Structure 1
Amino acid sequence: LYASDYFQKFYDYAVDLIRAGKAYVDDMTPEETDAYRRLGKASTFRDRSVDENLDLFSRMKAGEFPDGARTLRAKIDVNAANIWLRDPVLYRIRHATHHRTGDKWCVYPMYDWAHTLSDYIEGITHSVCTLEFEVHRPLYNWILDALELPEPRPHQYEFARLNLNYSVISKRKLIQLVNEKLVNGWDDPRMVTISGLRRRGETATALRAFAYNIGVTKYPSMTDMALLEHTMRDEFNRIATRRLAVLRPIKVVLTNYPEGRIEELDAVNNPEDANAGTRKIPFGRELYVERDDFMETPPPKYFRLRPGGEVRLKYAYIIKCDEVVKDDAGNVIELRCTVDLESKSGGPTAGRKVKGTIHWVSVSRAIDAEVRLYDRLFTVPEPDASGDFKSFVNPNSLEIINAKCEPALADARPEECYQFERLGYFGLDPDSTREKQIWNRTVTLRDTWAKEVHKEVRQPA
């Protein structure tokens, strides 16, 4: 439904208001109208007769007068303490083509008139607005009373707007981000629009849980983005299908594993759901692991892969790094490892304890995918608190990488949520095709921003 569907009804109600002597056509300019309202001064046209007002309003509708020449104003109280009751404008002349009604109309209702009557026509019982509309409520009620509209009538209620830190909510500011191409449209996953959240992989159930948890208040406040992210993690941990993906791959060659051999290992689909079952993942001589899971000279208490060190490959074997292969520039390009062939689940050494477990995918069976790592759009908690909010746009809010994924992801569905184990929660982007998958990171497994804030707090003065 659109407000423009009711333009004729709005007009008819305005005629009823004029007939009741509660509205008049005013010839003052917009500037004069504003000045008179501030001063609590009545327009010289306020006492026009009903017949004259009906005639002028009809001629306004017929297009006889230019833009701004006349308005229709409610006849309430020019000295009201609430300035919105000082004979507010209900209709103005504007010769403009409407995107739905074309050139049929050249008089258009103002917000308060359209809002109130749309609610009444549609049978709204609770018209919920943000706090800035609290001062409009007396006018909302006056319109219903002045027209003597029968019950049931709508009632307006106000609440504090939801403000999330590290974001902007104002449409005026969001459109600047879009128009200046600081984001990739209204559905950019970094935007807190419904379409942006949906594209990022947010679910309606998580949003409802988030809204329920923060509640409704009359007091303006700032809600921590971490609460929304916690709500997402809480839901996705229960429902997300687990898969293996390597975002920044480095090759591992298992030198004592038979060449050409591929075995199928069992992996759970969701440890939180016993009914989710298991799947087979291929394992072979050459694997990809995360570059971040290897350090040549690690710090103390580093339990991932290092020269001479052992880790368990998730769902698979224990391996030991024997050799590091580098290119001419000194960059690590390959790790040569040996595998304990008896350490797989059910094997003689399966119970052997190693402190680190890392994920992997098979080189020969991996599928390629583009992965978009989204982060918070702004670098400060309240970007629009002072100055130009656009100066705080996070230059690192999007990183695009090419990842290697287990073959089961070839059958991924866009409506399903996935956890890339040890990495985060991801969803398929609408631009994905069978030939080229595109994944959006919905949220990380842990709140990495909390650590950054903690570091900043502990910085010496």
Structure 2
Amino acid sequence: MSTNPKNPAAPADNAPAANFLRNLIDADVASGKYADRKDNLGRPLPPIITRFPPEPNGYLHIGHAKSICLNFGMARDFGGRCNMRFDDTNPTKEEQEYVDTILDSVKWLGFDWKDDTGEHLYFASDYFDKLYEMAEYLITAGHAYVDSQSAEDMAKNRGSFGEPGKNSPFRDRPAEESLDLFRRMKAGEFRDGEHILRAKIDMASPNMNMRDPAIYRIRHAHHHRTGDKWCIYPMYDYAHPIEDAIEQVSHSFCTLEFMDHRPFYDWVLERLAEGGFFQRPLPEQTEFARLNLTYAVTSKRKLRQLIDENIIDGWDDPRNSTIVGLRRRGYTPESIRLFCERAGVAKSDSWIDMGTLEGALRDDLDDKAARAIAVLRPLKLIIDNFPENLSDDCSAPVHPHHPERGQRSFPITRELWIEEEDFMETPSKGYFRLFPGNKVRLKYGYVVECTGCDKDDNGKVIAVHCSYFADSKSGTDGANNYKVKGTIHWVSAQHSLEAEVRLYDRLFTDPNPDAGGKDFKQVLNPNSKEVITAYLEHGMRAALPDDKFQFERHGYFVADRVDSTPGNPVFNRAVTLKDSWQAK
């Protein structure tokens, strides 16, 4: 969604890009479809209510960011609200840790679930009693039955896309018997899988999801919120529409894989509306294309595998596609919202290039990030005619486009660090940096002329020598007397900050690492992380965790939010200055 710089979660002055979901809401608002609704206290409801309903079984990834921006953004733009809801119906995979990180990620992205009526944070487990009550109603109304087939027989009798299913031998079980069994299931009398509650719809339906889908299963498992109160748990496809209706959601946006589930969503709500549980208009589900990002995997199972096999360093590894990983890498909430806006909303799946995400970060940080000098591949430069005990201050803007942010200063001394690539003993054609006899400008400092180099016993250059011109300092009148083609970066060897810098790159060399049944681990990028010792201008000692900088010439970097300590920041490369990525 577009943003307002004074309020990052507010819409920009220009109108948001049109899309089919926005058009749908426009039409519903214009028709008054959801107008005049009231909550349980008789207060008017907003014109639209959306929801973001993750399962707390892992960390959110970049695909979830699109859903967050879509649901919260649409509610914001239309003066509605978005409920934050956890679909915690599967106790064996869910933990409070995941609840906490999901809430933190949504807030970090700039969204909230509060309005003037209070906090709209919900859990499916809040509704377990109601879900159970409604399941009993479906049984007594003849719309559900307890099936006692084995899992193997159920699968066999379900049929296939080209073959209709077969009715369960228990499908015509009397409602009283099913109700008794269901209550005994709730009481814990049966083992996992011994019985299951199914909706009674149509085993010959061409839509496999309508062939008497399961709505409750036995699962003797401890729930992170309800403890051991329950040993039966509702299936997601049953719970989801009911949760929407209880919360009076108007627009239930789901990704395309739920399109075939929509008839069951509608079936559940229609049957319960007939039973007097809900008033019309009922929530409506609409599907949109999920976000598929190149050079990444978003499957929670595969992400967990990468962590368990120590291929990456946890959920917040900066190479990870998780929101916590992107945050640690140096991505900003604004850049991710900008990326989601650029990705758009479509009705068919497509792939978004990683370069679009990286470009959004560059566009966001270019105007924000303070500048600094860093030497990543250090080579000693000795200015032979510079007084040994002299330290001369040079200055540069904190940000070249924002003079109001002031100047930063750093000393130049006799011995400096420069980039290895800024010296060639025998220069190639078009090389304008240091080589014997050539002059260059030390950026923000003096013009120097290369006089030679020192080598070790193996012939490797270990130091470069030069002379400086004392009247050539940048910002003085004398600087105009020197015309050179090359300018190089440097830091004082005596005063610079020695720091750990992590050069992160894309985790995979294949744009679609797990497509077509490929083994995603076979296309891991061996150069996705390189840890180096770099030298930074001395003012970087004051960098705080999450502070972001443009290291001139190299890219955008962030002080690591986990490993940085006072006076000793560790830096992660967020993104290079230009999109010139290629697998190495």
Distance apart, 1:206 and its partner CA: 0.7
Residue 372 of structure 1 corresponds to which residue in structure 2?
502
Distance apart, 1:92 and its partner CA: 0.8
Residue 477 of structure 2 corresponds to which residue in structure 1?
347
Gaps spanning 5+ residues in structure 2: where? 1-121
Equivalent residues of 1:288, 1:362 under 8 A apart: yes
Distance apart, 1:122 and its partner CA: 3.6
Residue 256 of structure 2 corresponds to which residue in structure 1?
131
Change (3 A) 1:339 1:160: same
Equivalent residues of 2:541, 2:567 under 8 A apart: no
TM-score by length of structure 1 reads 0.94
**Following the alignment from structure 1 to structure 2, what is the Cα–Cα distance between the partners of residues 420 and 208?**
24
CA-to-aligned-CA distance 1:154-198 (integer Å, 9 cap, x gap):
322212221121111222222221121111111111111111111
What amino acid does structure 2 have at the position aligned with 1:255?
D
Equivalent residues of 2:255, 2:288 under 8 A apart: yes
Change (3 A) 1:369 1:343: same
Q: Are residue 401 (structure 1) and residue 532 (structure 2) matched?
A: yes
Residue 580 of structure 2 corresponds to which residue in structure 1?
448
Residue 459 of structure 1 corresponds to which residue in structure 2?
none
Residue 196 of structure 1, aligned match among 312, 325, 332: 325
What's the RMSD between the two structures over aligned residues? Answer: 1.7
Equivalent residues of 2:296, 2:513 under 8 A apart: yes
Q: Are residue 118 (structure 1) and residue 243 (structure 2) matched?
A: yes
SS at match of 1:239: coil
More deviation, 129-138/429-438: 429-438
**Following the alignment from structure 1 to structure 2, what is the Cα–Cα distance between the partners of residues 416 and 122?**
40
What amino acid does structure 1 have at the position aligned with 2:486?
G
Q: Are residue 262 (structure 1) and residue 391 (structure 2) matched?
A: yes
What amino acid does structure 2 have at the position aligned with 1:109?
P
Change (3 A) 1:278 1:349: closer
**Following the alignment from structure 1 to structure 2, what is the Cα–Cα distance between the partners of residues 100 and 307?**
72
**Identity, % of aligned positions:** 53
Residue 81 of structure 1, aligned match among 192, 206, 225: 206
More deviation, 118-127/398-407: 118-127
Residue 217 of structure 1, aligned match among 346, 349, 352: 346
**Following the alignment from structure 1 to structure 2, what is the Cα–Cα distance between the partners of residues 72 and 399?**
53
Number of equivalent positions: 452
CA-to-aligned-CA distance 1:335-384 (integer Å, 9 cap, x gap):
11111111112132435221111111111111111000000111122222
Equivalent residues of 1:41, 1:78 under 8 A apart: yes
Distance apart, 1:435 and its partner CA: 4.7
Q: Are residue 21 (structure 1) and residue 150 (structure 2) matched?
A: no
Change (3 A) 1:152 1:369: farther
Residue 7 of structure 1, aligned match among 106, 116, 128: 128
**Following the alignment from structure 2 to structure 1, what is the Cα–Cα distance between the partners of residues 427 and 129?**
74
Equivalent residues of 2:397, 2:403 under 8 A apart: no
SS at match of 2:292: coil
Residue 65 of structure 1 corresponds to which residue in structure 2?
190
Residue 439 of structure 1, aligned match among 560, 563, 571: 571
Residue 206 of structure 1, aligned match among 335, 353, 361: 335
Residue 331 of structure 1 corresponds to which residue in structure 2?
460
Distance apart, 1:274 and its partner CA: 2.9
Distance apart, 1:130 and its partner CA: 1.6
What amino acid does structure 1 have at the position aligned with 2:140?
R
Distance apart, 1:152 and its partner CA: 5.4
What amino acid does structure 1 have at the position aligned with 2:269?
L
**Following the alignment from structure 2 to structure 1, what is the Cα–Cα distance between the partners of residues 171 and 347?**
37
Equivalent residues of 1:237, 1:272 under 8 A apart: no
CA-to-aligned-CA distance 1:32-87 (integer Å, 9 cap, x gap):
22222213222222223332222111100000111111111111222222111111
**Following the alignment from structure 1 to structure 2, what is the Cα–Cα distance between the partners of residues 254 and 315?**
16
SS at match of 1:58: helix
